Amino acid sequence: MADPRTIGRYQILHPIGQGGMGTVYLAEDPLLKRRVAIKVVRVTGAARHQATLRFRREAEISAQLNHPNLVTVFDVGVEEDLGPFLAMEYVEGKSLGRHIKDRDLDTETSARVLIQAMRALRAAHRRAIVHRDVKPDNILLSEEGRAKLMDFGIARTLGHMSLSPEQSLDLAPVGEDGAALAQTLALRLTSSGDFLGSPAYAPPEVLRGGEGTPASDRYSFAATAFELLTGKLPHPGGGLTEIILHILQEPVAIPADLPPGMAAVFKRALAADPDDRHTTLPEFMEELIDALPGPVSMRARLFTFLGQDEDGTGSVSMTRFRQAEPAPAEGSGAHDARVRRTAPVKITLAEDPVETYLTTRKPARREPRTGGTDWTQVLKWIVLAFLVLQLFWWLAPALSHVQF
């Protein structure tokens, strides 16, 4: 089909993305004079109704959260000739999935992206909203360096699961072996459309039919972090069936060159049992930053950034960072003997003043003394008393002749 010239009130400029079910266009809002991205899903019948419900849900969640690290949704509607559409904030940049393929982000930048995406996901969890599809392709990175979490179309609200008409997968028959289970699940995931989300980043409890929870979102976030920092999926495979089988039956595949500290963090974050994982996203990020290879100054900057306000632009009165001793030589067997020290650092700027504060700290300004005798004040009172006495002696003769 030819690209439309208009969708709703929006003037279409050109397509910027193409998928199996729809297209994303760059458009201009003639009313508000701004550029927007418009997602169109070309479906009919019941599928069109479901897509419309998801778009509306995404718009409602965007309005509720209104977070700087979330893609803002402006409008939702249906075009008869095209299908449901979603007008949202245009982020000039590319997805984290593309950055992973290009391998163009260094360790510190990658950690900053994760911190920002964590803020957005945490804001959703505070409102009892489960994303259910956290993955690199759903995190955009603008050219200015701001990360944006997107695609809440399949999100659910805890306690209001009936808002979503989709049903989770049923458990496989008892006695079915692992390979057959994985093959059955893979077939259903790719053909029936029952499963919403990305299986490669889904935890085992969701693949087996459980509801999405904040713990499952944290698993998907950790899987995204794993791929961003290692370039590999935590559960590899030549196809969807192999990946699902690995998630259901095998522990996370740790690369041989991954530092032991990072390996331990990811083993916990990607544990099969949700109770064995980190209980909060900040806890995961703290441990991950502490385990990152690199200079102490880099980790100090990241801990400062992690401790800033939720929107990443404000400042806080106090934060902390962990400082480790230099890593021992390879083969020394002493990598677990690192000594961690905690130091409070006063933050007054949104940038990274930690390192400057530690190295160029100015002497504290001396305050005036408040204790002891102030002889200046004593002298003033003596002079004042002397003047009063002189005035009295001058006026005394005149006052003696005055009769009252």
User: What pLDDT was estimated at residue 366?
Assistant: 46
For the chain, what are the domain ranges? 1-90, 92-293, 296-326+340-361
Catalytic residue among 29, 104, 133, 177: 133
- SS3 of 11, please? strand
Cα distance between residue 105 and residue 161, in whole Å: 38
Q: Maximum CA pair distance of the chain?
A: 126
Rounded mean pLDDT of the chain?
79
Q: What percent of the chain has pLDDT over 90?
A: 52
Question: Is 170 within 8 Å of 209 (Cβ atoms)?
Answer: yes
Which of 54-63, 140-149, 333-342 has the highest average model confidence (pLDDT)? 140-149
Q: Give the DSSP per-residue string, 313-378.
A: SS--S-EEEEEEPPPPPTTSS-GGGPPEEEEEE---SSS--HHHHHHSPPPPPPPPP-SS--HHHH
Question: Is 71 within 8 Å of 149 (Cβ atoms)?
Answer: yes
Q: How is residue 36 written in tokens?
A: 């927007």
Strand 34-41 with 319-324, pairing = unpaired
Q: Which of 183, 129, 179 is nearest to 151 (CA)?
A: 129
Cα distance between residue 74 and residue 9, in whole Å: 12
- Cα–Cα distances (Å) from 268 to 263, 276, 339, in that order, read 9, 6, 22
User: What pLDDT was estimated at residue 184?
Assistant: 65
Angle, helices 214-230 vs 107-126, to 10°: value is 170
257 belongs to the catalytic site: no
Question: Is 10 within 8 Å of 36 (Cβ atoms)?
Answer: yes
Cα distance between residue 32 and residue 58, in whole Å: 21
> What's the pLDDT band for 186 if we cut at 50, 70, 90?
low
Residues paired with 70 in a beta bridge: 149
CATH H superfamily, domain 92-293: Transferase(Phosphotransferase) domain 1 (1.10.510.10)
∠ CA 247-253-256, rounded to 5°: 175
CATH H superfamily, domain 1-90: Phosphorylase Kinase; domain 1 (3.30.200.20)
Cβ-based neighbours of 190, under 8 Å, separated by 6 or more? 240
Structure pTM?
A: 0.72
pLDDT, tens digit, 9 for 90 and up, residues 267-287: 999 999 999 999 999 999 999
